[in-house]
Structure 1
Amino acid sequence: MTGPTNVSSKRKLRLENKKKKMAALLDIVKLNECDRQKNKLHQQDHQKEPNFAMIAEPSAKKFKPEQKEDGSANVDFVKPKLEGEAFDELKKMLRDKTNKIRNSPKFRLRDMGESATLKIRLENRSPLFLSDIQHLIMYSQVGVHSPYSPTRWCSLEKYNRLKSVNLLIVENVSLYHYEAFESEFQFLKSNFEHKIEFVSPLSYRGDIIKELSMVPLSATQMRKLINEYGTMADAAKNCTEIFDTVKNFFPIDECPSEPRETISGLPASDKFSRTQLLLSGWQMIEENFPLPIKGLVERKYADYKLTKEKYKNVTPTSPMVGIDCEMCRTSTGELELTRVSAVNEKHEVFYDTLVKPDNKIVDYLTRFSGINSKMMRSVTKKLKDVQNDLRRILPDDVILVGQSLSNDLHALKMMHPYVIDTSVIYNITGDRARKSKLQTLAQEFLNETIQSGHGHCSNEDSLACMKLTQLKLKKHLYFGDAIMGSIFTEQRAYPDIGTSSYATSMLRQCTKMDKTASVVGVDDTADKYKFYVDKNVTREVTNIACTSETSNRGVVKKFCENLNRYSLNVGQIRIAETELDNSNKAFNTLDKWIGEVYACAEMPTLLAVMFGGQKDGGNGACFLQLHREYV
């Protein structure tokens, strides 16, 4: 007779369990109602996110519920726990969200990037270059396989998690327009975290499409091409991916000159043209040379002078002059020029003078400069006198030679287009970032001991630089270069410095790793990009699409359609001068278009809007935003 009793017992147990569940549910309802009353200002957030208060924290203090007079528990202040499937589901959701955040791409500015942001006062800001943005785009597509890295100014982590990278270029609009009509760019201002000034190519007679599309060859690429084609000139002629390009920042006569790599007319002692050792415009930027670029001249280099008013084209017979300067620390805390020496190719010192700084010397730095108070006692020549001397005696096609020559030109407060830097053309470390001292190079290659006395001697140092350059010209282009010539070490540098005299396609670089790219531009813009994709226009490149539209609105519409179909998208529109007459309307419309692009892009994506600048009208601005689900 145990059957009915067992059934009754089970029924009682089920009823008890139901009562417990109902009691727990009532507790949760009470707590939720309490939360709603306390958090009215955050009601919307509670609707989107789970109620995490329902999970008891491991460190929470446990307490025994009070009992009422009838013996039941007073649970008004008990914090219940989720159990069973509901708790497991919530844990899974939290775990998935944590993994998404952990694996989400991350973008941040480094010091160089921070100094270019619009948050910095204009007089203290150091704008980036278009090549910096180009390096970020390439890295976002192929990562470490990119020939150049954007680490100079920014960091992009988990680049391979990006669904797309989208760049919208606006021609004929500059940083000035953004700052003058900021109220018309409400969406751009509010939704793009990073706002950066960059030097517009228009400020130095450049072309934004050309400079964005063309990537200077790295040393590794050059070596491969030379092994395949014999010379870089032959590679540029026969390879559809290689372009010949020269960039000038200086006022140079536009008269025809023989090619840089010509062999005819070389000095008897030279095995190749000395013009091949010249730093390119890109390398001069990398090595921090002062350059007459609009935006920098007015601020950073306001008191700098050109070595000549006008320059002739450099040739394989252009004279070389070795330059070296010594500096002392003055009351301003900065280093100022105290001695300059110049030596010619016959190893004759034809200019050597001490210079009295504009401010009082507080540290002669004798152990480095070789200068002491006795030497400077009767010196009257000032920096402006030295500048005038050099402007008068230097030829207008002279090639300046020196070790870390940018430091000397900054000390002279002068700018020059043709330079050979021994710290660049010689490398015995196998790492471009680690440069050898002039003393080490002289000992290794000239078998000479320099700087063995009390400090440096500018005569001795300038002569050593001249001898090192002449030695390389007697040998071969890669002599003394561990990266290019595979001497001393097989270690390769990343990124290794090549030359901007020859370049390859940025879009081709970005689509090396099964990536795809699209370009859509107004009028003939897309055709220009297509040329830099492949010089042979009859050959179709299937993973790069170039489309032309007849209107800005058409470009934006097509650009939005492509955003989630290609890994890299470039759109280029042009605001006409007539539209700028009604700037408020034009910029308000532009801001709406930017909002459309932002809304169409699937997360996570890297969005960039670039105001390309105006000719003689100010620098450009680049607005960057990593658009992702979790910030």
Structure 2
Amino acid sequence: MKSKSTKRIENKKKKMAALIEISRLNEYDRNLKKTQISEANGSNSSELEPSVKKPRTEAPIGDTVEQKTLLPELGPSGKPKLSGLELQELKKMLREKTTKMRQQPVFKLRDMGTNASLSTDLENRVPLFLSDLQHLIMYSQLGHHAPYSPARWCALEKFNKLSTTCLLVVENMTVNHYTTHENIFPFVSSTFEHKLEILAPNSSNSDVVRELSMVPLTATQVKKFSTKFGTLEDAVHRTTEVFDSVRSLFPIEKDKESKNGLSMDLPFTDRFPRTQLLLSGWQMVEENFPLPIKGLMETKYAGYVLTKDRYEDVTPFSKMFGIDCEMCKTTIGDLELTRVSVVDEHLNTFYDTLVKPDNRITDYLTRFSGITYKMMRNITTRLKDVQDDLRRLLPADAILVGQSLGNDLHALKMMHPYVIDTSVIFNITGDRSRKTKLKTLTEEFLSEKIQEGQGGHCSTEDSLASLKLAQLKLRKSLYFGDAVMGNVHNEIRTCPELGTYNYATSMLKQTTKLDKTALVVCPEEITSKYKYCVDKGAEVRQQNEKIKFFSEKSCKEVVRKMCDSLGMFSLNIGHVKLQEGQLEGTKVFKNVDKWVKEIYEKMPTPGLVIVLFPGVEGSNGCCFIQLKRDV
């Protein structure tokens, strides 16, 4: 297959050859006209000229000169020199082409997107979330009016020049299906420039439609619905605008007694649900928390374990535990765990132990860790023992609280889904990227002093301080102690994502607010899910005429309907589901490649085309993205 640079050079050669041919024809026409004029003049004065004695048998010398002048003069670069009208025409053509190119939308990956690319080595690859793809789709429709931006992983320039966006979801397809049978996907492989791995939900109760269709409430929306309905729990009951949402990165079992996690009473100490302080999945990525990402579990996170094999739904009554770790430097040149302390909500010590690292300690870092040689002399507890203890002691819905908690979990080599990070929920700088020290937060908000002694930090003291700060915020308000969340303008511009991940609104409703329309085509059982994510199962009312739903019986019919309707809607979603039996052979892969080709060829330009293999539990998915431009 020819490289892009080779194709560009060949195209330039063809253009130059065409220009030379045009110049040659123009020169020939000019010379012909001159000859005709001279012959006409010659016939008028033929009487004055002597007659030719013999007919010519060979071309005159002038003809040879004329033929030479048909080839245009070449410049220093070897390209033909143009002048006059030809030069003006060429400049005009180039100006028009440049103007047209500048008006074309542009899609490109940022570093986080490149890290998720299938061309990145598996050990260094970090998959994207389905929410990342959702943010791109919304941005392609709403641009800067979208509640979330895809800027963390990609850039879409001139989104307003897009004629349409098309998403094809092929459920039960995984990244392994593509990578092991890439030759059976010739069109997808050759046409789509960007191929990215997507993190598959790790929960049996997860659902692709819900993951794509539910958009977490922004801070502004939290205020709006809380003011209008009193609480978000009440808003869930009283309006079709707000849905409850469950994160499915970890293996979380659905609570059968609480119907869809609906409204519950609060502990008498809390003014709002503590679940609103939990970090979302992508916030945990941003804060460098260890996560059970397939591929990284075998490489970067080798030896890491989950705090539980299965988790329960987190609720406003889930217990909080403050946690802090101390580390020392060892012969591997890195820090290893030497002490861990956990305190419960009653501020009692829940677990506290010194830990002997697997490698010999070279620097106790006593002025920071508080650890000394004497303390460690008779310690036999290992990291594996600590992991086993915490896995046994912590409840399945425990909420861990700490300052820069990701560092502590890395020291423990453990992963946990429900975390509150005091360095995120408290901010006195007004800049989310600038973290405030725990010592400063404790003195500012609790009027207490910690880390005062000369003997270094105490992990019990630090874990208590973190837990007290979280409890104080729960007694005050969601915006207490946070300069970023303190005024609504900063909420919108600086950090809209810090609303709540536990409540959501409809993506389809959001994307059709600004004179946009949406089409959803899928089998009937999947269509009902998309409808639920618009109006909670109620009949789609007249004001939602912008959203059209079509149910088809087969995958072929879904694709055919998509092809027939492209260009009529600004957002087009086609969703097909392959059964396990269909995935046993390779015939279905050829069909998928054919479906993608049919849709792509029918797409108007410029258009954004996204194909999603969402993956299944235990196997990640992937997506293919291509911006189809005007030729």
TM-score when normalising by structure 2: 0.82
Indicate the residue corresponding to 2:143 in structure 1: 143
Q: Is the 8 A contact 2:203 2:252 kept in 1?
A: no
Q: Is the 8 A contact 1:482 1:490 kept in 2?
A: no
Indicate the residue corresponding to 1:153 in structure 2: 153
Q: Is the 8 A contact 1:203 1:293 kept in 2?
A: no
Indicate the residue corresponding to 1:555 in structure 2: 558
- Deviation, 1:390, is 2.2
The aligned runs of 1:57-96 (5 Å cut-off) are: 78-79=73-74, 81-96=81-96
> 2-side partners of 1:409 and 1:311: how far apart?
17
> Structure 1 residues 506 and 313, CA, compared in 2 at 3 Å: closer, same or farther?
closer
Q: Is the 8 A contact 1:253 1:310 kept in 2?
A: no
- Deviation, 1:150, is 1.2
- Deviation, 1:191, is 0.8
Q: Is the 8 A contact 1:283 1:499 kept in 2?
A: no
Indicate the residue corresponding to 1:494 in structure 2: 495
> Structure 1 residues 326 and 89, CA, compared in 2 at 3 Å: closer, same or farther?
same
- Correspondence 1:321 to 2:316: no
Q: Is the 8 A contact 2:174 2:613 kept in 1?
A: yes
More displaced, 421-430 or 604-613? 421-430
> 2-side partners of 1:331 and 1:40: how far apart?
55
Q: For residue 352 of structure 1, what is the amino acid of its counterpart?
A: D
> Structure 1 residues 309 and 206, CA, compared in 2 at 3 Å: closer, same or farther?
closer
The aligned runs of 1:561-576 (5 Å cut-off) are: 561-576=564-579
- Deviation, 1:464, is 0.9
> Structure 1 residues 128 and 559, CA, compared in 2 at 3 Å: closer, same or farther?
same
Which digits, 9 at most, give the CA deviation of each residue in 1:63-85, with x for residues without a partner? xxxxx999x99867833644444
Which digits, 9 at most, give the CA deviation of each residue in 1:138-182, with x for residues without a partner? 111112211111122222222222222111111122112112222
SS state at 1:386 partner: helix
> Structure 1 residues 538 and 181, CA, compared in 2 at 3 Å: closer, same or farther?
closer
> 2-side partners of 1:253 and 1:285: how far apart?
24
- Deviation, 1:288, is 4.1
- Deviation, 1:126, is 1.7
Indicate the residue corresponding to 2:356 in structure 1: 356
Indicate the residue corresponding to 2:187 in structure 1: 187
> Structure 1 residues 512 and 50, CA, compared in 2 at 3 Å: closer, same or farther?
farther
> Structure 1 residues 368 and 601, CA, compared in 2 at 3 Å: closer, same or farther?
farther
> 2-side partners of 1:399 and 1:413: how far apart?
17
> 2-side partners of 1:230 and 1:389: how far apart?
41
Count residues with an aligned counterpart.
575
Q: For residue 305 of structure 1, what is the amino acid of its counterpart?
A: V
Q: For residue 172 of structure 2, what is the amino acid of its counterpart?
A: N
- Correspondence 1:130 to 2:117: no
Indicate the residue corresponding to 1:474 in structure 2: 475
- Correspondence 1:425 to 2:425: yes
- Deviation, 1:522, is 2.6
> 1-side partners of 2:379 and 2:142: how far apart?
57
Indicate the residue corresponding to 2:226 in structure 1: 226
Indicate the residue corresponding to 2:585 in structure 1: 582
Indicate the residue corresponding to 1:46 in structure 2: 15
> Structure 1 residues 277 and 77, CA, compared in 2 at 3 Å: closer, same or farther?
closer
Q: For residue 211 of structure 1, what is the amino acid of its counterpart?
A: E
> Structure 1 residues 207 and 48, CA, compared in 2 at 3 Å: closer, same or farther?
farther
Indicate the residue corresponding to 1:168 in structure 2: 168
> Structure 1 residues 113 and 368, CA, compared in 2 at 3 Å: closer, same or farther?
farther
> 2-side partners of 1:487 and 1:187: how far apart?
47
Which digits, 9 at most, give the CA deviation of each residue in 1:172-217, with x for residues without a partner? 2211211222211011111111111112236553100111011011
The aligned runs of 1:398-409 (5 Å cut-off) are: 398-409=398-409
Unaligned 5+ segments in structure 1 are 1-38, 56-67
- Deviation, 1:285, is 4.9
> Structure 1 residues 426 and 77, CA, compared in 2 at 3 Å: closer, same or farther?
closer
More displaced, 200-209 or 565-574? 200-209
SS state at 1:128 partner: coil
SS state at 1:144 partner: helix
Indicate the residue corresponding to 1:335 in structure 2: 335
In the alignment, which of 543, 546, 550 is matched to residue 543 of structure 1? 546
> Structure 1 residues 376 and 104, CA, compared in 2 at 3 Å: closer, same or farther?
farther
Which digits, 9 at most, give the CA deviation of each residue in 1:255-285, with x for residues without a partner? 4249675336x24x44444344334556545
- Deviation, 1:564, is 1.8
Indicate the residue corresponding to 2:394 in structure 1: 394
> Structure 1 residues 145 and 362, CA, compared in 2 at 3 Å: closer, same or farther?
farther
The aligned runs of 1:448-527 (5 Å cut-off) are: 448-453=448-453, 455-486=456-487, 492-527=493-528
- Deviation, 1:557, is 1.6
TM-score when normalising by structure 1: 0.82
- Deviation, 1:133, is 0.8
> 1-side partners of 2:514 and 2:603: how far apart?
22
SS state at 2:148 partner: coil
Q: For residue 503 of structure 2, what is the amino acid of its counterpart?
A: Y
Q: Is the 8 A contact 2:275 2:502 kept in 1?
A: no
> 1-side partners of 2:134 and 2:235: how far apart?
23
Indicate the residue corresponding to 1:263 in structure 2: 265
Q: Is the 8 A contact 1:481 1:487 kept in 2?
A: no
- Deviation, 1:412, is 0.8
Indicate the residue corresponding to 2:33 in structure 1: none
> Structure 1 residues 330 and 161, CA, compared in 2 at 3 Å: closer, same or farther?
farther
> Structure 1 residues 139 and 335, CA, compared in 2 at 3 Å: closer, same or farther?
farther
The aligned runs of 1:227-246 (5 Å cut-off) are: 227-246=227-246
Which digits, 9 at most, give the CA deviation of each residue in 1:583-615, with x for residues without a partner? 2x2211221221122212222222111112234
- Deviation, 1:370, is 4.2
Q: For residue 501 of structure 2, what is the amino acid of its counterpart?
A: S
In the alignment, which of 603, 606, 609 is matched to residue 604 of structure 1? 606
SS state at 1:323 partner: strand
